[in-house]
């Protein structure tokens, strides 16, 4: 016993000596403990996964084929499908999810009926929450114009918080379709023309909406859409076909979808278009080989509204039953606005056209999603059966302030001749135009849960800012258009667009009279929200003739003219740009839009927005985008005369380039590279010195572009690979740093391998995509 005690004491003393000589022993022990914890975490995760699998295996074993088919159905109440009929189908276990209902008592009633179904499987509830919910934020093209990750995050976070408070579980967002054709109506829903900017916005939306765990009661599952290439429809015509090389797909158009999926998006919505001759809903290569096998996506794949039926029109299915077979074989899990799954899936299994394993796999993914949402343990989460409609639409001041901040960051200053802006609040102001006092239009498309009566119009925002209402006078000025067919089209959306029956010359005369008595004229012109929406493609992107006549008359008064655009896509504005003393792109800014516009007009906020899409000089240039490939005869090549890639009747360049946006102050920038050489394991630090050389505080977005000078395939003249914001007081300096690593140099080569090739790279730094400020480094072959 004494010997054992002596040995023990010796061990303690010796251990202390070792520790004194080498304190890293403690660190090693801590690491060992950490490893034990890691093992425990892995075991816990495996246990959770095993529990989930066992739960779902047991559930599937008890479900009939009819019930499994029911889980694959996403249904909307309306038309012949009344609430009573839907409730009966829910109780029979024939519906898996509901969309387009946001009234909580109805949702609660549906969920209660689901809990009476044979296996008591809860529903999930979905809605299009594109740019806000009860509080409406700017359209996504506006949110992208912030080039501000914090602003993008705030829009996504508030949207999810409000939606989940309404009992919703899933949204058909974010929309990350790249588009370079502003004729397409759904431009307003996306984040623009660029893969990197769109990927960043999509990534942030997924992370801020879904949260870290789907079990979080504020978690809103995202269904990234529209997979794939919806924004590349030929001619910008809605639902048209797309045809694209595999390299262009993977290098540019597929990038944002993958970024959203890599960020954890648990669902994908499929596009309505054909991709290289095969409708996306029937495209096994797209939905299975790429999405499942290459990208390892294990979430739920949802068809778009009515897409199964449309396979017949596409000519890839002979009848409804065949359409169901084609969709399931391609990789569709859930049919939105389902008409045929319940009717034909059991029959197709019995005939051997599809297997029950295929149905089980689709059903399992939906059940797994519901399990991870926590619906099996708390099916009524966030549902209040007594919540009244007024409470649902209650004014949330905090959310409104956040929406106002994002809205003013979305505004892009396009022109400011002689520093006419910001305006002094003691000036007499004429507010004129068909959009100046439109509560519905300022909300933009896909704002179905918002309330127009809560929106602040530009006129209201300006009056509130000025305080003295006698200084502000308003005239309607002109109808949006003289075309009666446009109004019929708009009213199909239930918009009831305002049409003034007075003669056009009398409306203009009234506007001119008010303008002449004012110190400055602010004209709000552009599009109604229904003109920038799904199925709202245009061939003419200029302002309608009625609005052009109004602007011409206002310009003739000699008063300073500020043109404030309200629109959901790039327009052709060469004539208006020449007329304007100042021009603002305000998009459709949402609930607090009018206040945000006033903040910028009067200098409470210095505009910082940058364009996420190029604005064409004319429609004939389309598609016009900054990251095009070079040609063998580039525009401007010396000694080539007319034999270069150019138009003889138009400039090559857009009116406003990607990334463009002015400020009430001025900035100067210079930059340096940490090295002129880089190997595979290395990196290059780009240090940018930024100075505010003006007399107002402002924010500058520093943009980093890259050009691979020589490669196995032609590479773009520039590609955006980074951006950062910096706010500086007048005459102050700051620094922004970027890191370029090996992976950022990769592209899809001539053998469709994702590689970086040794050679020279140009680095560009600037305030928009036209920057020529560049330096070069070499990627070494080692």
Provide the annotated active-site residues: 304
3-state helix, strand, coil split of the chain in percent (to 5) is: 40, 20, 40
| Residue partners of 439: CB distance under 8 A and separation at least 6 | 452, 453, 455, 457
Query: Across-strand partners of 765?
Result: 704
d(CA 370, CA 122): 8
| Residue partners of 264: CB distance under 8 A and separation at least 6 | 206, 207, 210
CA-closest candidate to residue 144, choices 220, 186, 200, 207: 200
Three-point CA angle 621, 551, 534, nearest 5°: 50
d(CA 265, CA 168): 16
How many beta carbons lie within 10 A of that of residue 333, not counting itself? 26
State both tokens at 258: 């993958």
d(CA 9, CA 27): 23
* Dihedral (CA of 441, 444, 446, 449) sign: negative
Q: How many CA atoms lie within 13 A of 21 on its CB side?
A: 6
How many beta carbons lie within 10 A of that of residue 471, not counting itself? 16
d(CA 217, CA 239): 36
Span between the terminal Cα atoms of the chain, in Å: 64
State both tokens at 747: 């592209």
Q: For the CA atoms of the chain, what is the radius of gyration?
A: 29
d(CA 338, CA 89): 13
Q: Rounded to a whole number, what is the largest CA-CA distance in the chain?
A: 114
State both tokens at 160: 């999810």
d(CA 240, CA 252): 20
Pairing mode of beta strands 747-748, 754-755:
antiparallel
CA-closest candidate to residue 134, choices 161, 171, 105, 95: 161
State both tokens at 333: 């899990």
Query: Across-strand partners of 427?
Result: none
Name the 3-class secondary structure at 392: helix
Q: What is each CA distance from 673 to 258, 650, 764, in whole angstroms? A: 30, 38, 11
């Amino acid at each position: 016993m004494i010997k054992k005690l002596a040995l023990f004491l010796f061990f303690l003393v010796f251990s202390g000596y070792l520790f004194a000589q080498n304190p890293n022993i403690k660190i090693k022990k801590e690491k060992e403990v950490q490893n034990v914890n890691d093992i425990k975490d892995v075991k816990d995760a495996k246990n959770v996964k095993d529990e989930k699998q066992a739960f779902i295996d047991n559930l599937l074993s008890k479900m009939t084929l009819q019930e499994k088919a029911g889980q694959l159905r996403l249904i909307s109440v309306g038309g012949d499908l009344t609430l009573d009929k839907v409730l009966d189908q829910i109780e029979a276990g024939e519906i898996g999810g509901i969309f387009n209902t946001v009234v909580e008592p109805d949702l609660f009633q549906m969920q209660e009926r689901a809990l009476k179904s044979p296996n008591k499987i809860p529903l999930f509830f979905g809605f299009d929450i594109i740019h806000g919910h009860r509080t409406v934020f700017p359209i996504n093209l506006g949110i992208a114009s912030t080039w501000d990750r914090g602003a993008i995050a705030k829009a996504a976070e508030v949207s999810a918080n409000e939606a989940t408070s309404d009992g919703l579980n899933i949204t058909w967002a974010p929309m990350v379709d790249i588009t370079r054709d502003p004729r397409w109506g759904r431009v307003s829903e996306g984040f623009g023309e660029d893969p990197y900017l769109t990927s960043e916005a999509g990534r942030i939306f997924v992370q801020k909406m879904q949260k870290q765990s789907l079990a979080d009661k504020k978690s809103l599952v995202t269904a990234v859409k529209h997979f794939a290439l919806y924004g590349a429809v030929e001619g910008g015509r809605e639902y048209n076909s797309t045809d694209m090389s595999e390299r262009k797909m993977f290098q540019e158009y597929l990038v944002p979808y993958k970024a959203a999926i890599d960020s954890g998006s648990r669902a994908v919505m499929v596009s309505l278009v054909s991709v290289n001759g095969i409708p996306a809903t029937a495209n096994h290569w797209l939905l299975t080989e790429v999405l499942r096998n290459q990208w390892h996506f294990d979430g739920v794949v949802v068809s778009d509204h009515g897409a199964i039926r449309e396979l017949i029109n596409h000519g890839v299915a002979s009848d409804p039953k065949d359409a169901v077979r084609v969709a399931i074989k391609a990789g569709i899990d859930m049919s939105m606005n389902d008409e045929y799954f319940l009717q034909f899936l059991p029959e197709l299994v019995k005939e051997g056209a599809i297997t029950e394993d295929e149905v089980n796999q689709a059903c399992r993914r939906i059940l797994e999603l519901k399990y991870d949402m926590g619906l099996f343990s708390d099916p009524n989460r966030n549902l209040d059966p007594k919540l009244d409609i007024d409470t649902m639409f209650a004014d949330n001041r905090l959310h409104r302030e956040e929406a106002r901040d994002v809205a003013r960051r979305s505004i892009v200053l396009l022109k400011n001749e002689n520093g006419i802006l910001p305006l002094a609040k003691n000036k007499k102001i004429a507010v004129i135009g068909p959009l100046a006092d439109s509560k519905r239009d300022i909300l933009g498309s896909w704002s179905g849960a918002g309330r127009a009566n809560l929106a602040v119009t530009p006129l209201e925002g300006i009056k509130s800012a000025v305080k003295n209402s006698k200084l502000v006078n308003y005239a309607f000025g002109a109808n949006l258009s003289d075309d009666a067919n446009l109004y019929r089209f708009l009213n199909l959306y239930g918009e009831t667009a305002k049409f003034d029956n007075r003669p056009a010359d009398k409306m203009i005369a009234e506007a001119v009279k008010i303008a002449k008595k004012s110190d400055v004229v602010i004209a709000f012109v552009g599009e109604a929200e229904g003109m920038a929406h799904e199925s709202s493609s245009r061939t003419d992107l200029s302002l309608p003739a009625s609005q052009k006549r109004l602007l011409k008359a206002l310009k003739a008064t000699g008063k300073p003219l500020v043109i404030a655009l309200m629109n959901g896509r790039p327009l052709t504005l060469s004539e208006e740009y020449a007329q304007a003393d100042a021009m603002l792109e305000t998009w459709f800014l949402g609930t607090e839009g009018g206040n945000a516009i006033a903040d910028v007009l009067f200098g409470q906020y210095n505009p910082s927005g940058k364009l996420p899409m190029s604005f064409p000089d004319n429609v004939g240039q389309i598609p016009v985008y900054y990251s095009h490939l070079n040609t063998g005869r580039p525009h401007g090549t010396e000694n080539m005369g007319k034999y270069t890639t150019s138009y003889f009747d138009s400039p090559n360049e857009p009116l406003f380039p990607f990334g463009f946006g002015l400020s009430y102050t001025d900035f100067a920038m210079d930059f340096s590279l940490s090295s002129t050489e880089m190997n595979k394991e290395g990196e290059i630090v780009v240090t940018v010195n930024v100075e505010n050389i003006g007399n107002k505080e402002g924010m500058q977005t520093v943009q980093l572009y890259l050009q691979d000078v020589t490669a196995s395939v032609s590479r773009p003249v520039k590609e955006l690979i980074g951006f950062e914001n910096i706010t500086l007081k007048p005459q102050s300096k700051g620094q922004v740093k970027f890191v370029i690593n090996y992976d950022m140099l990769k592209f899809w080569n001539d053998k469709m391998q994702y590689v970086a090739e040794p050679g020279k790279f140009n680095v560009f730094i600037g305030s928009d995509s036209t920057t020529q400020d560049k330096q070069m480094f070499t990627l070494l072959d080692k």
